[in-house]
Amino acid sequence: MIHEILGINYYVIGPSLCLLMTGVFLLISDLSFKLKPRHQSIVVIFGLFITGILIYLKYGEFVKLGISSHFSSMILLDEFSLFGDFLLYIIAVCTLPLLWSASGALMEKRTEAIVLVLMSLSGFMLMTSSEHYLMLFIGLEIGSISLYALAGLNRNDPYSNEAALKYFLFGSFASAVLVYGVSLIYTSISSIGFFETALSIAYIGDSNIPLTAVIGLLLFTFGLLFKVSAAPFHAWAPDVYQGAPTAYVGYMAAIVKTSSFVVLARLFTIIFPLLSIDRSIVFQIISVLSVVLGSFFAITQSDFKRLIAYSGVAQAGLIFSGIASGGQATISSLFYLSIVRPIRVKINSKFIYPEFSKIANSFNVKVEKKSRRIDIQPVGYDVPRGFGIPFGGYFWLPLSLFIVTRNLNFCFGLFSYHLFLCIGPPFLGVLFIMGHKWVGTLMQVNEMCFAALFLFFLFVGINEIYLIWKNKKPLK
């Protein structure tokens, strides 16, 4: 009886518990028995394997129960929690082999590094499954504190010490903003969870909601935007990434953004549609500002890790643009976060770059690979010519705007242009490698046209949203 009243269901928190117990067991066994790296790897692999099984069993519970609350409405079982667990698990499986090989350079701190990774993963999984705001905060802090320590693991490196201190200070400030927002929500409408807040707003009526509740929701959102390093809340990211251990930068960026965006997607799907306030202009400004500032400052960076940080700022703006719009645009943003971006990087590294390298080697031409771009530099050229991989952020940001405004003509035009980019620029690149120097000019023109068309599509989308806002028509 008590078990049913409290809603105790260990399946819904099984993945987080398994990772937590794996980290604790690894730490205790290493202190007690001085495990060899081979034995430590067996413990980690076994823990990840059991975690994967528990995520599958959690999915089975969702099929059986549907959307449901557990542990006295503290933990939520819904599509977002399953999506967050699955995506975080994929990130861990893909990055842990690299982290394991890189942790050898940390010598005696290898175990601490892997334990911190497991603890952070456990905390962020708990965060994405939380219905109660305070439980969300607990998961966020478990994950964040682990990353603070991970950033400062190289104690002999002053940059690492600076990174840990800045990450701790800015992260604590972001958490304080988030908790202050929660306190305003609770004191205004006596709600402390996502669905509880939605029910309170629906019961009170949109016109009777206190201003402090709206401010609380905005502060809650801004606290999460600090975590994803969206502009203008991104100042901490470049210094933190530069000082953190190199192999762990990608993991730190991916896991925080993924969990925070899942929570933001739940917020903008459940609560914000009930409010009549037009939030689109403010949040779309944040999205565009993130893309512009992130892309602009990334160009000037000479340090690779700082480049990753500013690239993350731009990507945060792209993903947030869809989530802030709600509905179908939220689905497109989560699709981009989980599938499109990794696929583009993989296609470039596994298919496009190797083929261009083969052609370039036969013509003695230098070809350089970037994550989502190919640069070609023949002998005698000081500045390389290149092209980007299409269907990236420059496609999804305008597309999310056109989806919101239901402009199917521009959706089709944008899609057709990026289909052309799949064929035209690579063909010009091959001709340029083969020695047709006049093609270099065409490649420069193509990049200028690409930038101009992106700004054009972006202007059209923002202008349509502005006209909708001016005419006081709600976005659907």
Which token pair is 47? 């823990």
| Gap between the Cα atoms of 132 and 195, Å rounded | 9
pLDDT band at 371 (very low <50, low <70, confident <90, very high): low
Mean pLDDT of 458-467: 74
Alpha carbons within 13 A on the beta-carbon side of 451: 9
Torsion angle in degrees (nearest 10) through CA of 213, 231, 125, 38? -160
Mean pLDDT of 64-77: 86
Identify whether the C-beta of residue 226 lies closer than 8 Å to the C-beta of residue 91. no
Cis, bond preceding 232 (omega within 30 deg of 0) = yes
Instruction: Summarize pLDDT for 269-286 with one digit per residue, the tens.
Output: 888 888 876 555 677 788
Count the neighbouring beta carbons within 10 Å of the beta carbon of residue 131.
24
Mean pLDDT of 50-57: 91
* This prediction's pTM: 0.72
Angle at 433 between CA 431 and CA 436, to 5 degrees: 50
Mean pLDDT of 399-418: 73
Instruction: Summarize pLDDT for 376-405 with one digit per residue, the tens.
Output: 877 777 777 777 767 666 676 677 667 666
| Gap between the Cα atoms of 85 and 76, Å rounded | 12
- Mean residue pLDDT of the chain comes to 80
pLDDT band at 107 (very low <50, low <70, confident <90, very high): low
Instruction: Summarize pLDDT for 318-337 with one digit per residue, the tens.
Output: 778 777 665 555 555 555 55
Q: Is the C-alpha dihedral spanning 259, 261, 262, 266 positive or negative? A: positive
Closest CA to 291 of 319, 264, 325: 319
Which has more pLDDT, 136 or 351? 136
pLDDT at 179: 93
Closest CA to 92 of 62, 50, 58: 50
pLDDT band at 475 (very low <50, low <70, confident <90, very high): very low
